Amino acid sequence: MGPRSTEGWTSAVASFRSCPTAFLSAYGASDTFVVELLQELRSEKLGEQIKVSMLSLLLEYPTLLCPDAKAGQEAAASLLSFFAQLGSSPRLPSLRCHLLFTTGTVLLATDAFSEDCQTSHEYLTLLFHLASDLNDRHGGPVERPLRVAACECLREVECCHPGLLSQRLETLHSLQQQETSPAHQGYTLLYSLALRNAIFLLARRGQGTLGELLAGSGGLVWGARKELADLPLAALDQLFLLPSSGDLKELKSVVSALLDSSYLLSPAAQSHLLWHLGQAVSVVRTQSPAIFKAQLVRLFGTADLALLHAILQLKSLFTDSLFTPEDEAFLLRRLVGMAQHPALPAPVKLFHLDCLLHFPENRPLGSGNEEGLPVLLTPRTISGLFPGLFQDQGTVLARLNLLCLVCMDSEGPAAEQGMGYLLEHVLALGGLVAGNGGQEASRLFFRAVFLFSRYFGSRTQPMTELTHCLLDLYRQNCALAPNVINLLDEVWAVLEGPSWAGSFAHALQELIVGLPLQEKELSWHLRVLARLAKEKDIPQRSTMQFLRRLIAVDQLGDWRSGQVLLSVCRNLMQLQPLPAPSHLADLLQAVSLCHVDVDVRDRARFYYTLLTNLSDEKLGAVLVPQGPVKARTLSSSIVADSESFVASLTVHPAERAPMRLERVGKSSDVPAALSPEQDVDNYCQWLLEPRPPSQLSLTYQLVHLGPPSPPWDLLLCVVLRFVCSDQHYEPVPELCVPCLSAHHPPRTLTLTLQPRCPYPTRVNIFAVYTTHKGLTYCSQLEPLEVAFPDLFLPLMVPAWPTEKRHHFFGAFWHRLHPDSNEACAESLVCLPVPPQSLGRLVQDNFARYILAEQSGSYEIGMALPPQYHILLQVQSTEDSARVNIRTDNWKLLPSLNNYLLGLVEAS
C-alpha cells in the first residue's frame, strides 16, 4: 500500500478507533499496519498533529498492535530511532514528548522491558540524560516539557517495576534538590515514589541499612519487581524497619524537607507525595507519624478533593497515632457540611457522602472493606442530609442509603422518626410514578425501594405500606413488570432466609390472578408469573388457575405471549416436587392443540412429551443444564445431550469470517422513461416531478474463504445483515443464502440501497451462519465501500436522435439554472487534461451517461438517488478541459469536484 496523505491517516485513525479488531482484520495483520505506521511517522509530508494522533494508537492499544514482547521491542526501537532522528531541535515539542510516552508504554505493556532488552537500557539512558538537564541550562525553557515528560516516564517505569531505582536515591535526591524551575514537581514525585519502594524493598529483604539506601548511587535493581509486585496494601503492617538513630535522623531530614516544600506542588501532586511518604514512614516503626502534623494543620480546612482524600488516607494509615478524637470529630462535621453545601456540584457532594460511608475511624469496629458508619454519626447529626424530591437521582439514592444505614444502626425516637420520614419519601417517589413521571421516575423509585427494603425488610409495618404502594402501581401500569422482576431478583440476592420479597411476591401473584384478562396486558402478567414460578417457597396453585383460565376463554395471545406462557410452564416443571403434574400436562396439551402459532404449539408438544415420559429427576436434568452431573447414568446422558442442545442454540462469535463479498457490477432501479413521442419540455418536467425514490442495486459475489475441510467447507442458512456507517441511507434489508460451499461457485447477490442523500458511505456487514455440525456462528465481514461514482445512474432518455438529445440537454440545463430553484447550483472546474486524452477519459468513466457528443465537446447527464441530477458540459481547450456543472442539489458539488480531480490524478 502506498503512503497515505494526511486525510488518509486521519480516516485510518478514526476507523481504527471505531472498531480496532475489525480494522486490523480488514487490513490483514497488526504487524503490517504497525510497520506502515512507524515508517510514515518519518514522513515530512505529515504534520505534527497527525503524527501525535498516530502515536496515540500505540499508546491506547499497545498489546493489540504489538501482541508479544518481540514486537514491542522492535516498535520501541523504531520509536527511539525516530526520536534520535529529530535531534535536539526545539521544533515539534509535543511529538517528542509523545514519542517518550509511547516508547515506555509499548515496552511496559508488552512485557518487553527487562534486563535482557537492549532497547530498555537505551530508553532509560535517554530518560536520565534528559532529566539531568537541570534548570534549563542546556536546552532552555523550550526543552522543559521534554524534561517533565522524562520524569513522568521514569515514574511510570518505577510504578510498573517497583524498586528498579532503589539504588539511585542519592542521584534522584540531588536532581530534586537542584531543580528550581516549574519542572520541580516531576522530580519530587519521582524521588518520593523511588524512596517509598526502596524502603519497602529494604524491609522485605532485611539486608542493608537505611543510611546506605539513602546514599545509594549505584545501578538498576532489575530483580526487585518479583519481590514487590505481589505486595498487597494490606500487607504493609507486616513490613517494618528499625534503623539506627543516625539513619533515622537522615530519613527524618529528607521527609521533612519534602513536606516543607510540598505547598509548592499542585493539589494532586501533594496528595501523591503525602501518600508515598506516609507509606514509607509507616514501615519505619521508630519514626513518629507526628512529622505530618504540621501538614494536617495546614490542610484541615482545604476544599480540594485530592488533598481531602490524602488526609483520609493518612488517617486510615496512622489512625489515633496521628489523629486525636477532636480531629476525627472535626473531619466528620466537615464531611457532613460539605455533603450538603449548596455551592458545590453534585459529584463533589457525592464524594463527601462516600467518604462518610468509608470513613477510617480511630477505633474501627469492622474490617473497613464494606460500607459502615462512624460511631459519631447519628440521625440528629446528619439531619440535613435527608433526601428531597427535587434533587438529582444520584444524590437522592446516596443520601437515602446513608440515612437508612444510620437509622438502622441507631435506636430511640430519632431513629424511628427518621425511618418514617424515609418511608414517606419513598412513597412520594411512588406518587411521581403514578402521575406518569416517566422512566426516570420509575427507575429512581424502584432503586429507592430496593435500598429501603435492604435495611428495613424485617420491619412489618413500613414494608406493608410499601407493598400496597407497589401493588397499586402495578395495577395501574402493568408495563412496570420488568422493574418489579428486577426488584425481586435484587432483594432475593441480598436478603437471606424468609424476607419481605416472599410476601410481596405472593401478594403480587394474587393480584395478577384476580385481574380481568386483557390481551395487551397478558404478556406482562405472564412475565411476572414466570419469574415467581422459579421460587419453590411460593404456592403455584393460583398460577395454575390463571393459566387454565386463559385456555378456557381461548386468550393465549400471539407468538410473544405464547413464548412467555411456555416459560411459565417450563419453570413450573423445574420445581421439586412438581405442582399438580396432571394439570400441568393438560395445560401443555391444550396449548399444543389450540395456540395460533405453530412454533408455540411444537414447543408445548415437546414439553408435554418430556413431562409425561420422564421422572422428576430426569426432567430437571434436561431443563437445567447446569444441574448436578452424577455418574454415567441415563440422567447424566440426558444432561450431556441438554448441554449440546444449549450449545447448538447459542450464537458463537468467530474472529475471522469464512466468507467475503466481492463486487461484480451495478444495476439501477430507475422508473421507465416516457415514449419517444414525448416532447422535450414535458420530459424535463417529468424528470423534476416528485416520484417514488429510486434505488441503487449493487451486485456482489459471496465468496467462500474458510478452510475447505469440515466443518467450514459447508455453511448453511447464511444471513447477512448490513449497517450503514451514517444516517444518509435507509435501513438495508438483510440477505439470506441457503447454502455456501467451498466446492461450488460463489453465490451472486444483489444489495439494494435506498439513499436519503447521495453521499458515499461504508456498509458494515455481519454474518450469521451454521456449520453442518449444527453450531451457529456470528462474524463481521470486510466492510463495503460505496464510492461517489457508485451512485451515478444514467438518465432514462427516450430513444431520441442525437439532435433531439442535444436539444433536451439544453432545455434541462436551463431548468437547473440557480435562479430557478434555491437548491440548484452551477460550478466550473478546469482539468489539466490535453485534448488527445480527454476522449479516452470521458469514455472510460462516463460512457453510460453521454447524451450528446460533438468534436471536443461532451454533454453528460446523470441521475442520483433518491431524485437528484447532475449535468456536465465538457469542452476541450488548448491544454486543458473545462467542465461546466449544474445540479439540483448544491451539496453534491464538493464530492463531484473531488471525484473529477481524482480521475485526473488516476489517469
| pTM listed for this prediction | 0.64
Q: Which contacts of 290-295 are long-range, i.e. CB under 8 A and separated by 24 or more positions? A: 290/322, 291/252, 291/255, 291/256, 291/259, 292/259, 292/318, 292/322, 293/322, 294/259, 295/259, 295/262
CB 882 within 8 A of CB 830: yes
Q: Residue 421, Cβ neighbours under 10 Å: how many?
A: 16
Q: In which band, very low, low, confident or very high, does the pLDDT at 675 lie, cut at 50, 70 and 90?
A: low
- Average pLDDT on 445-454 reads 93
Provide the grid cell at 227: 519481590
- Average pLDDT on 720-725 reads 88
Report pLDDT for 667. Answer: 52
Report pLDDT for 637. Answer: 40
CB 764 within 8 A of CB 725: yes
- Name every residue whose Cβ is closer than 8 Å to that of residue 208 and which is 6 or more positions away in sequence: 202
Q: In which band, very low, low, confident or very high, does the pLDDT at 633 lie, cut at 50, 70 and 90?
A: very low
Nearest-10 Cα torsion for 712, 714, 717, 722? 60
Please list the alpha-helical segments (H only) found in 816-865. Answer: 835-846
If one compares 35 and 517, the residue with the highest pLDDT of the two is 35
In angstroms, the CA 485 to CA 449 distance is 13
Provide the grid cell at 261: 516544600
Report pLDDT for 834. Answer: 85
- Name every residue whose Cβ is closer than 8 Å to that of residue 870 and which is 6 or more positions away in sequence: 792, 861, 862, 864, 885, 886, 887, 892, 896
Report pLDDT for 647. Answer: 53
Give 847-862 pLDDT, tens digit per residue.
Answer: 888 888 887 789 999 9
Residue with cell 414525448: 678
Q: Is the dihedral of CA 265, 267, 268, 272 positive or negative?
A: positive
Q: Which amino acid is at 138?
A: H
DSSP notation for 664-691: EEEEEE-PPPPPTTS-HHHHHHHHHS--
Report pLDDT for 253. Answer: 93
In angstroms, the CA 861 to CA 866 distance is 16
Give 778-832 pLDDT, tens digit per residue.
Answer: 888 888 888 888 888 888 788 788 888 888 888 888 888 888 888 889 999 888 8
In angstroms, the CA 534 to CA 623 distance is 12
Report pLDDT for 743. Answer: 86
Give 567-620 pLDDT, tens digit per residue.
Answer: 998 888 888 777 778 888 888 888 888 888 888 888 889 888 888 887 777 777
Give 411-425 pLDDT, tens digit per residue.
Answer: 888 888 989 999 999
107 pLDDT higher than 90: yes
CA nearest 443: which of 388, 483, 403? 483
Across 74-88, 610-624, 759-773, least confident range: 610-624
Report pLDDT for 630. Answer: 41
- Average pLDDT on 303-325 reads 90
Give 465-516 pLDDT, tens digit per residue.
Answer: 999 999 999 999 999 999 999 999 999 888 776 678 889 999 999 999 888 8
Give 355-367 pLDDT, tens digit per residue.
Answer: 998 888 877 665 5
DSSP notation for 791-810: G-EE----S--HHHHHHHHH
- Name every residue whose Cβ is closer than 8 Å to that of residue 742 and which is 6 or more positions away in sequence: 704, 706, 707, 708, 712, 713, 714
Report pLDDT for 458. Answer: 85
Across 470-479, 597-606, 684-693, 750-759, least confident range: 684-693
Report pLDDT for 669. Answer: 46
If one compares 371 and 789, the residue with the highest pLDDT of the two is 789
Phi then psi dihedrals of residue 554, to 5 deg: 55, 50
In angstroms, the CA 885 to CA 645 distance is 63
Give 144-154 pLDDT, tens digit per residue.
Answer: 899 999 999 99
Give 57-84 pLDDT, tens digit per residue.
Answer: 999 999 999 989 999 999 999 999 999 9
Give 432-442 pLDDT, tens digit per residue.
Answer: 999 888 889 99
If one compares 520 and 678, the residue with the highest pLDDT of the two is 520
Report pLDDT for 410. Answer: 83
In angstroms, the CA 584 to CA 652 distance is 34
- Which span out of 237-246, 461-470, 612-621, 652-661 was modeled with the highest average pLDDT? 461-470
- Name every residue whose Cβ is closer than 8 Å to that of residue 574 and which is 6 or more positions away in sequence: 534, 619, 620, 623, 624
Report pLDDT for 628. Answer: 40
